[in-house]
Amino acid sequence: MNDLNVLSETFTKIKDYLASNEDNNIPVVKFNQPSDLSKLIDFSIAQKGVSEHEFLELMDSYLEHSVRTGNKQFLNQLYSGFNFPAFIGEVLTVLANTSMYTYEVAPVASMIETEMIRLMNSYAGYSNGDGIFVSGGSNANLVAMFSARNKIYPNGRFSGYDNNLKLKAFINEHAHYSIETAANVIGIGAKNVVKVKADENGCIIPAELEKAIKDSVANGETPFFVVATCATTLLGAYDPIDEMADICEKYGLWLHADGSFGGSVILSNQHRSLMNGIERTDSFAWNPHKLMNIPLICSVLLMKKKGSLQFNLTDINTDYIFHDIDNIEDLGKKSIQCGRRVDAVKLWFAWKYFGIQGYENRIDNLFEMAILAEEKVNQHPKLELLSPRQSFAICFRYIPAYTTDLNAFNLAVREHLRKSGKSIVNYGYIGDKLTIRLITANGELSKTDINRFFENFLTEALQIEESLKKSHVI
């Protein structure tokens, strides 16, 4: 196999693929059931390797049958879109193929990550802060809880968790499941994560939080960790950080901001008020791979107090890696990972390319597209907004002219739309009501893209409604 020839063909395929993402006639996905996909692609590994021609065909097959998350009708997840400079950064990262534990093996990448942490801390108001790139928002939440446990019980780093402490964590009832997973991993147990009642908009109720903390203390337990969710997964709701900080300061608790979804709102002067009080938190999880459109994975945990991450580790006297011969701290000394991908470089390339103002404009555009989508729902007689828009998520459903199971009807519309490949949008439940959840996460979305989605959605809904009418199902 001629590697240079394959490389040349690969770049041609990449160019064609990117161009095709702008073609509205090409579906977001060519949907196949798993059994059918197995017939289209041979997933097994044979004794003998493939030829150059077969290798190139495998590339075509992979791209042809994968979901096009860069297509502007992919509105399904909390991430979407294609970011060219970040893509270039990812390619260079893989080409250089280094790890982030020492300056010795990653000099440029170490300087880049240090600068990215400095810049992101400046947005958070952490004047003497620290941070590390991690393997996802869930991991960032884990390390934050881990850090809070080590602060309240430093000896736990060596002797393990003491059940007599009865540590308790507190979260919005709509918070991400990773908080419970983190409690499981560090030995506290998921049952010791208290889910605090939220209001009708999905925001935690401060009075309920303080009551839950008081009840915990009265029961002989030790509250130690509180999470402010900055954009809940379904509703995109932001918890009131300032009010939560008042409570945490009163009781001496660690306050963590989980901005895995909505943390990038901090880049917008117009909308960053949603995170008022962020400078009063102790840690902040921020995923640039979501609203900043950096390729997966790109996640950061920021810490208000410098040295907090280093304190987590029990043994960094590994002289076969850390030689302390360069005039810079090796980043591996504050990471629970040893081998670690160079995720900062793709973020740096993108930020360099768009600039401070460019990224603010992209975040502002996401809000404009979300507002437009909300207006489209409110203006259509057969669409119902199921919850007021908080940020980037629009939750709605279609109401047919005939009495029917609305949950089943809207799920059918979504599935017809998804499997046709015209648009992909997600769904969830608000109480017992199934809601279509539209996410505006692609920084390059335009009014045309939002209009096209609603045209596609309403066309499918009307067709299903007419079909059911004719068959007398409704």
Tracing tokens 């003497």 back to the chain, one arrives at 128
pLDDT value of position 342: 95
Confidence of residue 472 (pLDDT cuts 50, 70, 90): low
Confidence of residue 104 (pLDDT cuts 50, 70, 90): confident
Q: Which helix (H) or strand (E) holds 286?
A: strand 283-286
Write phi, then psi, for 298 (nearest 5 degrees): -150, 95
Q: CB 121: neighbour CB atoms within 10 A?
A: 21
Confidence of residue 157 (pLDDT cuts 50, 70, 90): confident
Q: What is the DSSP string of 113-160?
A: HHHHHHHHHHHHT-TT-EEEEES-HHHHHHHHHHHHHHHH-TTHHHH-
pLDDT value of position 378: 97
Confidence of residue 312 (pLDDT cuts 50, 70, 90): confident
User: 72 vs 328, which has greater pLDDT?
Assistant: 72
pLDDT value of position 181: 97
Confidence of residue 333 (pLDDT cuts 50, 70, 90): confident
Q: Count how many Cα atoms sit within 13 Å of the Cα of residue 431 in the half-sphere of its side chain.
A: 6
Question: Exposed, middle or buried by CB within 10 Å (0-12, 13-18, 19+), for 191?
Answer: exposed
**Domain positions in the chain:** 3-68, 99-342, 351-470
- Determine if residue 421 is left, alpha or beta; phi over 0 gives left, psi from -120 to 50 gives alpha, anything else beta: left
What's the mean pLDDT in 177-198? 96
pLDDT value of position 292: 97
β pairing state of 393-398 and 222-229: unpaired
Please state which CATH class domain 99-342 belongs to: alpha beta
Confidence of residue 427 (pLDDT cuts 50, 70, 90): very high
State the Cα–Cα distance between residues 114 and 133, nearest whole angstrom. Answer: 10
Confidence of residue 155 (pLDDT cuts 50, 70, 90): confident
What's the mean pLDDT in 270-298? 97
Are 231 and 391 a contacting pair, CB within 8 Å? yes
What's the mean pLDDT in 81-102? 94
What's the mean pLDDT in 23-32? 91
Order of strands, sheet of 424-430, starting from the edge strand that comes earlier in the sequence: 74-75, 424-430, 433-439, 393-398, 383-385
Residue-wise pLDDT for 219-230, tens only, equals 999 999 999 999
pLDDT value of position 329: 81
Question: Given a cut of 90, is residue 420 above it in pLDDT?
Answer: yes
pLDDT value of position 331: 83
Are 178 and 138 a contacting pair, CB within 8 Å? yes
Residue-wise pLDDT for 235-264, tens only, equals 999 999 999 999 999 999 999 999 999 999
Write phi, then psi, for 29 (nearest 5 degrees): -150, 140
pLDDT value of position 330: 84
Q: Count how many Cα atoms sit within 13 Å of the Cα of residue 272 in the half-sphere of its side chain.
A: 13
Going by C-beta distance under 8 Å and a sequence separation of 6 or more, which residues neighbour residue 267? 123, 292, 359, 360, 363
Strand partners, 357: none
Question: Given a cut of 90, is residue 189 above it in pLDDT?
Answer: yes
β pairing state of 254-259 and 222-229: parallel
Residue type, 459: T
- Which CATH topology does 351-470 take? Aspartate Aminotransferase, domain 1 (3.90.1150)
Are 343 and 331 a contacting pair, CB within 8 Å? no
Confidence of residue 474 (pLDDT cuts 50, 70, 90): low
Q: What is the DSSP string of 49-108?
A: PPPHHHHHHHHHHHHHHS--TTSTTEESSS-----HHHHHHHHHHHHH---SS-TTT-HH
Q: CB 328: neighbour CB atoms within 10 A?
A: 12
Q: Which residues of 280-315 are buried (b: 16+ CB within 10 A; e: fewer)?
A: bbbbbbbbbbbbbbbbebbbbbbbbeeebbeebeee
pLDDT value of position 335: 87
| Length of the chain (residues) | 474
Q: CB 446: neighbour CB atoms within 10 A?
A: 14
pLDDT value of position 314: 66
pLDDT value of position 321: 72
Question: Given a cut of 60, is residue 20 above it in pLDDT?
Answer: yes
**3-class state of residue 387 by DSSP:** coil
Q: What is the mean pLDDT of the chain?
A: 93
Q: What percentage of the chain exceeds 70 in pLDDT?
A: 97
Confidence of residue 316 (pLDDT cuts 50, 70, 90): low
Strand partners, 394: 438
State the Cα–Cα distance between residues 6 and 3, nearest whole angstrom. Answer: 5
**3-class state of residue 341 by DSSP:** coil
pLDDT value of position 320: 66
